[in-house]
Every structure is written in structure tokens, then in C-alpha cells.
Amino acid sequence: MSKVFIPEGYKPILGPTETQRAIKKIKDYFQAELSHRLRLGRVSAPLFVFPETGLNDNLNGYERRVNFTIKDLDEREVEVVQSLAKWKRMALGRYDVKPGVGLYTDMNAIRRDEELDNLHSIYVDQWDWEKVITADQRTEAFLEATVKNIYGALVSLAEYMNEAYPELNINLPEDITFVYSQDLEYEYPDLTSKEREKEAAKKYGAIFVKKIGGALKSGEPHDGRAPDYDDWELNGDIILWNEVLEDAFEISSMGIRVDSESMLRQLMIDGKEDRINMPFHQGVINNTLPLTIGGGIGQSRLCMYFLKKAHIGEVQVSVWPESMYDECAAGNIFLL
């Protein structure tokens, strides 16, 4: 059996053809709203990078990257990006972007080690965004203000989609609730981190879990984070309550990026000192790259949530186990 969950009595609100139209409405509206609220300009982005640059995202550190060699570069190896967390910061430096403005781009990636289920596909599509900030903006207050801006875009999108498709009846809380990962561990000491997120998301409807990556009092981190892009003291995840799946639903991972001090500290904690001499890491350590805040917002995740779909394959085309196709068909889930 596959890992798919079939909600009892599930019936999609929009059929396949209208779903495709609605996906375009969501993507067009939200990226315009995000760009306006955060002062971001759209740029083109790479699908692959040279591994020795240190630009690829290592995610949790154990995922295998997809790589291949290029004939006309004497079979030099490149890697398909897993996200653009580091590339964006390098790009802002190259474009000499000033504080207060930034960029966003469509990021497409392959994550070959994802466990395929309702939420996870080997094909990843997200809006990757990054914005230049000043040293005095590296604070929790600035992080929270940015989160509220993004959440405001989500609320606006909900209003737009409810007007276009009243049958969706999307209900988001007026405000997002901020919670510390350590406070969740205190409140639910016998639960896993994902179970804690589920309880908090169900309670508040929309949460931002702060401070992810460093060890909690239990000795374990709330979740894994690479040591060389987010500052673990100034980051977090936007999580919504998904009434279709009756579970927590992560929409975005984001944060204020590492400066020289936090970069070196986190590399030491994670045992990744071997990265220090890579070009990207030298740019952070030597303060030749700008200070930034940034993140990724899942495009298929967003469409899945706002169209009240039970499976990410209802809003993107990917590949799935044969057993999953059969189970989904039996449960009224139409995989594109």
C-alpha cells in the first residue's frame, strides 16, 4: 500500500478543467500581491549549479541531489537545485540591490528522496524570494512584520478566491499566531514536533513556528535546517490548519539569513566547517554579500490548500507509485 491518505467522503469541489483555470488565478494573483507587499521584482533563476560553489541548498543534509555532466564543459558536473536559498543572496549582491527591496523567482527542483504522499512530490515548485535588509533589521520584530505581510497576502488571496468560487468557502483567521518551537515542546512534551505543530495549527488556524534548527531543551531540534542560510534564532515556518486532511499544513519556510557570526557558529554546531572556504560562505563571512531575509512559498501547496484538494498531485503533474494511482482513483482523487 502507498502512503496516501483518503479523506472520508472526499469529493473535489472543482473538476479537472476548472482546477487548471483556478491554479492560474491563484498563481497570478498571489505573486502580484507578494511582489507588491514585500517590494520584490521578478528575476530568472538557475535550474542547476556547480556543486563547488556551495550555492545548492543542502536541506536537512542527507538528501541526495540529482547531478549530471555537461558534454561541452568537458563533462563537468552540475547539480539540479534543491532550492535557491543561497543563490538568491548571491544574486542580490551581484545586482547591487539596496536595502528595502528584493527579488522573487519561480523555482523548480527535483528532490529524489522525498517520501511520496499527499503533500510530498519529487517535483518541487515554489516562489523563492529574498530581500536586502540592514543590520538593525536583524530582529524578531522585523521577522514578525514580514510574516504578517505574507500572511496578509494569503488572506487577500482567500477573499479573491471566495469571490471567484464561492463554493470553496475558504476561512482563514484574521491574524497569524506566533509560537516558539521551545514553547511547543514545553506544552506538548510527549508529542513529536510534527504532532505539536498539528495541535497548535488546529488550535489557532494559522501559526508561525519560530526558531527552527537549533537544539531544544530535549537535545533535539524542532526540525532540520541547513546551517548556512537561515539564522536559527530568526527563522520559522508558516503553517495553516488543513480542514480537508485534518492536519498541519506548511506553506512556507523562511527567515533572516545568517551573518558572519551566526554562519560560523552554526557550521561548527553542525560539523560542516568544510564549507567555510566555498565562495558563497566566504562572501557571508567576509561581509561581501548583503544581509537578507528570504524564504520559499510552495506553489502547489498553495493551490492545494486554496482549492481544498486532498493530494498535491491534483494540482501538479508528477510521478507516483502504481498503488497510489489506484487508491486515489478509488477515493475520488484525480491525479493530473
SS in 3 state form for 252-294? Answer: EEEEEECCHHHHHHHHHHHCCHHHCCCHHHHHHHCCCCCCEEE
Low-confidence residues of the chain, pLDDT below 50?
none
Q: Is residue 123 part of a domain?
A: yes
pLDDT of res. 43:
93
Q: Is residue 335 part of a domain?
A: no
Question: Cα(49)–Cα(47) distance, rounded to whole angstroms?
Answer: 7
pLDDT of res. 331:
92
In sequence order, the 6+-apart residues with CB closer than 8 A to the CB of 28 are none
* Residues annotated as part of the active site: 57, 111, 126, 237, 250, 253
Q: Is residue 266 part of a domain?
A: yes
Provide the domain count of the chain. 1
pLDDT of res. 60:
60
Q: What CATH code is carried by the domain that includes residue 325? A: 3.30.930.10
Q: Which region holds residue 255: left if phi is over 0, alpha if psi is between -120 and 50, else beta?
A: left
Q: Is residue 10 part of a domain?
A: no
pLDDT of res. 65:
83
Q: Is residue 9 part of a domain?
A: no
Please tell me the chain's helix, strand, coil percentages from 3-state DSSP, rounded to the nearest 5: 40, 20, 40
pLDDT of res. 3:
84
pLDDT of res. 280:
86
Q: Is residue 2 part of a domain?
A: no
Q: Is residue 1 part of a domain?
A: no
Q: Please state whether beta strands 206-210 and 230-242 pair in parallel, antiparallel, or not at all (unpaired).
A: antiparallel
Q: Cβ(230)–Cβ(86) under 8 Å?
A: no
Q: Is residue 174 part of a domain?
A: yes
Domain ranges, residue 299? 16-330
pLDDT of res. 296:
93
Residue in this structure with the C-alpha cell 478543467, named with its chain if needed: 17
pLDDT of res. 58:
66
pLDDT of res. 234:
97
pLDDT of res. 113:
84
Give 225-236 pLDDT, tens digit per residue.
888 889 999 999
Number of helices (H) and strands (E) in the chain: give both, helices first. 9, 11
